[in-house]
A and B are shown apart, each in its own frame.
Chain A
Amino acid sequence: MPDLLLELFSEEIPARMQAKAADDLRRMVTDKLVAEGLVYEGAKAFATPRRLALTVHGIPVRQPDLKEERRGPRVGGPDAAIQGFLKATGLASIGEAKIQSDKKGDFYIALLEKPGRAAIDVVAEILPVIVRTFPWPKSMRWGARSAKPGALNWVRPLHAITATFGLETEAPDVVKFSVDGLEAGQTTYGHRFLAPGAINVRRFEDYEAKLLDGKVVLDAERRKDAILTDAKQLAFAQGFELIEDQTLLDEVAGLVEWPVVLMGSFDAEYLSIPGEVIRATIRNNQKCFVVRDPKTGKLANKFILVANIEATDGGRAIVAGNERVIRARLSDAKFFYETDLKTKLEDRLPKFEQIVFHEKIGTQAERIQRIEHLVAEIAPLTGADAEKAKRAAKLAKADLLTEVVGEFPEVQGLMGRYYALAQGEDASVAAACEEHYKPQGPSDRVPTDPVSVAVALADKLDTLVGFWAIDEKPTGSKDPFALRRAALGVIRLIIENRLRFPLYERAMLHALLFAERALSEFEGKVAKSARSLDFIEPGLAKSLQHRAHQLAWSDAMLERASERFDALTKDLLAFFADRLKVQLREQGARHDLVDAVFALAGQDDLLMIVRRVEALGKFLDTDDGRNLLAGTKRASNILAIEEKKDKRTFDGAPTPALYSLNEEKALAKAIDEVKAEAGAAVAKEDFAAAMRAMAKLRPPVDAFFESVRVNDEDAKVRENRLKLLNEIRVATRAVADFSKIQD
């Protein structure tokens, strides 16, 4: 069966777009082929800086013929209907129609045959549409034709289209089509500098081979392999080790058609700059790799570049040129670094008073003050020394104002650590300057040093509470301030460090610090009249009052705003709950168990929630657990039916005097015992013990359902038994809401 070769030859395609473009091309062409009834055997797409290419092999020569029967009017029907039928089906006369009989009578049937078209014609129709609708992230017009409406858009000017179709054994045909004046043919071009001449291609095999002769490695994977192998060897030969960098490798492979790996060096004096800065300079600006000395693990004064040509001088000029650029870059970096070292981090802080963090939240200086405040309060919860934590919070953002971070934003934090150590700060304080940004994502490391943990938590909580206070929450796919990431960071910091962290209280108290700033935001939303703080737990209410006094707020103002604080804090907790659910689910925990625990009231201790979910999962893996779940569900189902029937609930304690059967009494007794025992275990946070206590409910529940008829004729007995069933539900709520658990 025939093969299709397609190449779209253009000016340089951005490296970051190439892989997806190749994939899109393959998907679009093969989807269309299949939709046209042309089921192919295989397809592969390629991209280089100047071309997208696709080979599809094993395409049928023709589409299958399509046969269709179309039912027409009744025999002897009105003439207009028959004429219409002839017109619609293309029959010359009604004599060409068949007659078919069924229960309703005789009808005309037209047998329509749509012969399959030659695949090459179908392809010629498909390809121009795909070129015109190709999903480039950004595309452009060019040249004289761009003045006309409907001019072609492509990522960069498109110069040639090669499209051939045919059997392996024969000379293939050119697929005849044109797009915006560009005719498909079988001429492409080799490497821009090494073999710029025209190349006549027939099919994929000779296309790939001729390109290779023309100094073009078509397959990006081959280019990457070649670069990696050569780079490693070159480093090894000089006694170094390549620092591998997949992202850079992907990018570099998209910048060359003929990779030539060369090594250059820079003056060893630049090694006094932190290695990360050297690497950032060389990588980001010059797209070169760095190498290390395998003995010391430290960066060596060498770099590896990937050129696109085999230079006639063996690459001497290229290496010399790159060395000059890198020398200039490193000289800048060294100058920045040394300049930075001349100013102490704390001396930079006043500048933050001029820098707005967010229009409605205020300046960076205010933010840093709040973080210092919060960190001092939560330091005991993380086991951090409060003074060190405060110091770290004070300095942690200062590196944002340094020259090096201004130039290379990705080393923020890290430079803070270098500068803190250089000015003799405590090691924990320095570490926190770097680590308080962590974890940056689901796979990033979570800090463990208590000072880092405290500052990291305070930093993220301040952000979250602040944006909640001004009502700037993530919606849908929009999360411009990365608040989801911040919340996940808080979750991971708490859980992975096994911290007891009362989120509601901390967030509520912290929210007060934004009230001043966000007063205008609050104004419309606070209650018109004061409301007592009764609905808040007394200890917390007292802390709130204390803080309000510190902020020179009147009690009345606090009371008026308290509901708003409560609402925003609860809303923030719900956001945490959602993120935790996502996180637990990703780790393989059953989402229904997570729901079952969250359904309990007042859950703001993330660590306890996680422990409960773990214990619950283990319990439900046992026989006792499964059976108790079944028993509880049965009780719930019965209750649901009867509650609906009677239009009432059966809350409240059953009356012991109405128990007539032993099983009833035994269940009532077991419920009382289990409630007490599980309650005590939960109070001690021993969820495994609570589950063990729950397990004791199983035999009496089973026995009850075995022998007791709930719907007794005596209405009072029935009511009492339903109340007893309700008690099973109530008892199990000590650990989770079992009704949320799926079977």
Chain B
Amino acid sequence: MDSLPAHMRPDRSFQGLILALQRYWADYGCVILQPYDMEVGAGTFHPATTLRALGPKPWSAAYVQPSRRPKDGRYGENPNRLQHYYQFQVILKPSPPDLQELYLKSLAAIGIDSAVHDIRFVEDDWESPTLGAWGLGWECWCDGMEVSQFTYFQQVAGVECAPVAGELTYGLERLACYLQGVDRIMDLNFNGREGADKVTYREVFFQAEQEYSRHNFEHADTAMLFEQFRMAEDACRKYLAAGWREEGNRKQHLMALPAYDQCIKASHVFNLLDARGVISVTERQSYIFRVRELAKACGEAWVHTEAGGAA
């Protein structure tokens, strides 16, 4: 890290932090992907995690995923909460025996020295009811702050993971706040420059937070969204049905990915409806159930594709 120019240092620059993590995991041998081009609630939704976690084939990937949680919008006013933020996601299948050490080294790579900082693995069982997924692991604490999620996937999209994949999720804004020593995400130095060249997180995202908060809570067109949910659900089922091929006794699926896109769509539309407060407590469960059913059907299709291990 000392060899880096100042503007690339993770403790000075938000993008420097992202680049340092990418470099570390690239050195380890991960495929460095770009964000998935759809709205998702978390990096886990990226098919590179959800679908690739399934099936027997080894898979190591890392990527940044912009994540949208419409309900967490605070018009840019809350120091720690945003409706749009970045996650850095690492998925390693099968989970390597030294995954904890790899993780700790990644912290060292971004300047967190375990001789000075108190790093802890605190129980946190992860479950995603919408994805039909669960795993065991921890929240990783650095000096009392949760900086990552660490999960050994046991089941995803209703399918048992065999072998198990290890998933690391770094909350980038929070980690950057810690490294840069600032209290508000908006105050982060984005590009690591100083003076006139400095670009802050506020300059990049404050207006977006305001606009999307207005949209998410006040104006998102609920009639359209209800319709979109229904359409995405229908389309997902249609593509799934159309994708099955049977040759002899071999069953194959040829359209798992496009079908899964519609599942992601439905999930995000549901999150928007939820933020708008137009879904009652009881309805909420049934929407979650409907998305989960889509996710499970996609998982089932995926394990009958080539990358899913069918070939």
User: Which residues between 335 and 385 of chain A lie within 8 Å of chain B, taking CB atoms?
Assistant: 354-356, 359
Please report the C-alpha to C-alpha distance between residue A390 and residue B25 in the assembled complex, in whole angstroms: 63
Give the nearest-CB partner of A312 in chain B. Answer: B115
Please report the C-alpha to C-alpha distance between residue A287 and residue B178 in the assembled complex, in whole angstroms: 19
Which residues of B sit under 8 angstroms from A91, Cβ to Cβ? none
| B154:A140 contact, CB within 8 angstroms | yes
Which residues of A sit under 8 angstroms from B96, Cβ to Cβ? 143
Which residues of B sit under 8 angstroms from A637, Cβ to Cβ? none
Which of B118, B122, B161 has its CB near the most chain A CB atoms (within 10 A)? Answer: B118
Give the nearest-CB partner of B117 in chain A. Answer: A317
Please report the C-alpha to C-alpha distance between residue A322 and residue B119 in the assembled complex, in whole angstroms: 12
B5 sits at the interface (CB 8 A) = no
Please report the C-alpha to C-alpha distance between residue A377 and residue B115 in the assembled complex, in whole angstroms: 66
- Once A143-B164, A305-B144 are accepted as A-B contacts, the answer to whether A255 and B117 lie under 8 Å apart by CB is no
Which residues of A sit under 8 angstroms from B142, Cβ to Cβ? 321
CB distance from A742 to the nearest CB of B (A): 50
- Once A11-B121, A143-B164, A146-B163 are accepted as A-B contacts, the answer to whether A157 and B97 lie under 8 Å apart by CB is yes
Which of A146, A287, A308, A328 has its CB near the most chain B CB atoms (within 10 A)? Answer: A146
- Once A147-B56, A147-B163 are accepted as A-B contacts, the answer to whether A140 and B136 lie under 8 Å apart by CB is yes
CB distance from A35 to the nearest CB of B (A): 32
- Once A317-B117, A318-B117, A356-B281 are accepted as A-B contacts, the answer to whether A325 and B164 lie under 8 Å apart by CB is no
CB distance from B255 to the nearest CB of A (A): 26
Please report the C-alpha to C-alpha distance between residue A313 and residue B119 in the assembled complex, in whole angstroms: 15
Which residues of A sit under 8 angstroms from B163, Cβ to Cβ? 141, 143-147
Please report the C-alpha to C-alpha distance between residue A184 and residue B91 in the assembled complex, in whole angstroms: 30
| B125:A142 contact, CB within 8 angstroms | no
| B145:A147 contact, CB within 8 angstroms | no
Please report the C-alpha to C-alpha distance between residue A12 and residue B293 in the assembled complex, in whole angstroms: 33
Picked from B94, B121, B144, the residue with its CB within 8 Å of the CB of A322 is: B144
B34 sits at the interface (CB 8 A) = no
Which of A14, A331, A359 has its CB near the most chain B CB atoms (within 10 A)? Answer: A14
A179 sits at the interface (CB 8 A) = no
Picked from A155, A193, A322, the residue with its CB within 8 Å of the CB of B114 is: A193
Give the nearest-CB partner of A303 in chain B. Answer: B144
| B94:A311 contact, CB within 8 angstroms | no
Please report the C-alpha to C-alpha distance between residue A143 and residue B162 in the assembled complex, in whole angstroms: 9
| A325:B116 contact, CB within 8 angstroms | no
User: Which residues between 269 and 302 of chain B lie within 8 Å of chain A, taking CB atoms?
Assistant: 280-282
Q: CB-defined interface of A272-303 with B at 8 Å, one 1/0 digit per residue?
A: 00000000000000111000000000000000
B221 sits at the interface (CB 8 A) = no
B100 sits at the interface (CB 8 A) = yes
Please report the C-alpha to C-alpha distance between residue A143 and residue B163 in the assembled complex, in whole angstroms: 7
Which residues of A sit under 8 angstroms from B56, Cβ to Cβ? 147
A694 sits at the interface (CB 8 A) = no
Picked from A145, A309, A311, A356, the residue with its CB within 8 Å of the CB of B280 is: A356
Picked from A14, A139, A286, A313, the residue with its CB within 8 Å of the CB of B123 is: A14
CB distance from B22 to the nearest CB of A (A): 25
CB distance from B159 to the nearest CB of A (A): 13
Picked from B117, B118, B123, B135, the residue with its CB within 8 Å of the CB of A15 is: B123
| B79:A328 contact, CB within 8 angstroms | yes
A525 sits at the interface (CB 8 A) = no
Which residues of A sit under 8 angstroms from B138, Cβ to Cβ? 12
CB distance from A310 to the nearest CB of B (A): 9
Picked from A147, A312, A326, the residue with its CB within 8 Å of the CB of B116 is: A312
Which residues of A sit under 8 angstroms from B166, Cβ to Cβ? 142
User: Which residues between 28 and 69 of chain B lie within 8 Å of chain A, taking CB atoms?
Assistant: 56
Q: CB-defined interface of A126-170 with B at 8 Å, one 1/0 digit per residue?
A: 000000000000111111111100000001110100000000000
B183 sits at the interface (CB 8 A) = yes
Please report the C-alpha to C-alpha distance between residue A318 and residue B117 in the assembled complex, in whole angstroms: 6
CB distance from B278 to the nearest CB of A (A): 11
Chain B: interface residue total (CB-CB under 8 A): 39
Please report the C-alpha to C-alpha distance between residue A251 and residue B163 in the assembled complex, in whole angstroms: 32
- Once A143-B163, A147-B94, A311-B116 are accepted as A-B contacts, the answer to whether A321 and B152 lie under 8 Å apart by CB is no
Which residues of A sit under 8 angstroms from B144, Cβ to Cβ? 286-288, 305, 318, 321-322, 325-326
A585 sits at the interface (CB 8 A) = no
CB distance from B139 to the nearest CB of A (A): 11
B198 sits at the interface (CB 8 A) = no
Give the nearest-CB partner of A49 in chain B. Answer: B121
Which residues of B sit under 8 angstroms from A145, Cβ to Cβ? 163
Q: CB-defined interface of A629-641 with B at 8 Å, one 1/0 digit per residue?
A: 0000000000000
| A311:B152 contact, CB within 8 angstroms | no
| A143:B145 contact, CB within 8 angstroms | no
B238 sits at the interface (CB 8 A) = no
Which of A139, A147, A155, A159 has its CB near the most chain B CB atoms (within 10 A)? Answer: A147
- Once A14-B123, A142-B164 are accepted as A-B contacts, the answer to whether A321 and B94 lie under 8 Å apart by CB is no
B143 sits at the interface (CB 8 A) = yes
Picked from B115, B145, B281, the residue with its CB within 8 Å of the CB of A325 is: B145
- Once A140-B136, A325-B145 are accepted as A-B contacts, the answer to whether A157 and B152 lie under 8 Å apart by CB is yes
Which residues of A sit under 8 angstroms from B128, Cβ to Cβ? none
CB distance from B125 to the nearest CB of A (A): 7
| A309:B118 contact, CB within 8 angstroms | yes
B120 sits at the interface (CB 8 A) = yes
B222 sits at the interface (CB 8 A) = no
CB distance from A311 to the nearest CB of B (A): 5
| A321:B115 contact, CB within 8 angstroms | no
| B145:A193 contact, CB within 8 angstroms | no
Q: CB-defined interface of B156-182 with A at 8 Å, one 1/0 digit per residue?
A: 000001111010000000000010000
| A193:B115 contact, CB within 8 angstroms | yes
Which residues of B sit under 8 angstroms from A518, Cβ to Cβ? none
A324 sits at the interface (CB 8 A) = yes
CB distance from A523 to the nearest CB of B (A): 22
Which residues of B sit under 8 angstroms from A255, Cβ to Cβ? 120, 122
CB distance from B86 to the nearest CB of A (A): 19
- The 7 A-B pairs of least Cβ separation, nearest first, read A321-B143, A14-B123, A147-B163, A12-B121, A322-B144, A146-B164, A307-B118
Known: A12-B123, A321-B117; 16 extra A-B contacts, CB below 8 A, are A11-B121, A140-B154, A143-B95, A143-B164, A145-B163, A146-B95, A146-B161, A157-B97, A157-B152, A193-B115, A312-B116, A318-B116, A318-B117, A318-B144, A321-B178, A324-B178
Pick 6 A–B contacts, CB within 8 A, sort by A.
Answer: A141-B154, A156-B137, A157-B152, A308-B118, A318-B117, A325-B144
